[in-house]
Amino acid sequence: MQWTIEELIPQRPPFVFVDKVMNFSEGSVTTSFEIKQDGTLVFDGFMQEAGLIENIAQSAAALEGCNAKSNNCKVKVGFIGSVKNLEISRSPKVGEILETQVNILTNAMGVNVAEGIVKSSDEIVAKCVLNIFLKED
């Protein structure tokens, strides 16, 4: 059950904020991402806030992709409807490896409510709740 990130999420370079899936279950995923100097949304050696939100959103997309691939279904495209309870304790710097855990709290009528927590070396650097609308075919 090993897929490339490109198989799991709709985003393409240079706008990819997930390197790999580390752990996956039906309602939860943990991803990793190394912040690179020439990365999108990296300025003056630090990842910007929008990059952290996008990392959580793409981790949620990877979860949906893993679920779809596991069930031999087409991977759906999702759109962020809202960001709630956003907390960012600091901006991570180039060279740090982010581990992001996303848990689906609820799913109703094509909307996932997902909680995301971003850590670097076991320190929480960001967390939020996303409402993600899933596009139906």
CATH number of the domain enclosing 39: 3.10.129.10
Q: Is residue 1 part of a domain?
A: no
Q: State how many domains the chain has.
A: 1
Confidence (pTM)? 0.96
| Residue 7 included in any domain | no
Tell me how far apart the alpha carbons of residues 35 and 19 are, in angstroms, rounded to a whole number.
Answer: 10
Asked if residue 2 belongs to a domain, the reply is no
SS3 content of the chain, % helix, strand, coil (to 5): 20, 45, 35
Residue 8 falls within a domain, yes or no? no
21-45, pLDDT tens digit by residue?
999 998 999 999 999 999 999 999 9
Q: Name, in order, each residue with C-beta under 8 angstroms of 3's C-beta and a sequence gap of 6 or more.
A: 21, 65, 66, 69
- Domain membership flag for residue 4: no
Domain assignment present for residue 19? The answer is yes
Q: Which two tokens stand for residue 52?
A: 């952290």
Counting as low any pLDDT under 50, the low residues of the chain are none
Helices (H), the chain: 5-8, 49-70
pLDDT score recorded for residue 126: 98
Residue 59 lies in a domain: yes
What pLDDT, on the 0 to 100 scale, is given for residue 110?
85
Is the residue at 86 inside a domain? yes
**Residue 135: what pLDDT?**
87
pLDDT of residue 1: 55
